[in-house]
Structure 1
Amino acid sequence: MESIRMLRGDNVMRILWLPDSDLLEGECHCGARRVEEAPAPLWEWLLAHPEGHHPAAPREPITAEPRTATASPV
């Protein structure tokens, strides 16, 4: 099986799904990150670089709290 490598570079922006959540994380090539529920606001933010971008330092993983199902009363 061929290994898959993640593209890196000065102009790479990406949006990743945060497992066990309904959240997406956008990461700009400058290192700034943002979490949203929909991809459109993330792409608008990414493409507006540098407006609103504040690179995180040091880089810390973003974790999402798992959603739990709630039973509705019958």
Structure 2
Amino acid sequence: VKTGTLSGPNKRGLSVKMPPMSIASVFVMVDGTVLGASTTQNPSFIESIRTSFSNALGMVASVLQSLLQTAK
């Protein structure tokens, strides 16, 4: 039974078949959660996470822009 749970509808649900915009919104969601978690305990750690998320979002945005321009 335990192995069956891995190869059922759960595995299909985990397959990444989402539009790029929803991936970007997931990044934003995680970013907000991490930043709101514990800013007082370790601000520099949170800041580095915020920077890395911003960089990732910037990369996603530039990829989206290039895709849109090639589609035209």
* Larger helix fraction of residues: 2
* Larger strand fraction of residues: 1
Question: Larger RCO: Structure 1 or Structure 2 (Cα < 8 Å, ≥ 6 residues apart)?
Answer: 2
**Same topology, TM > 0.5:** no
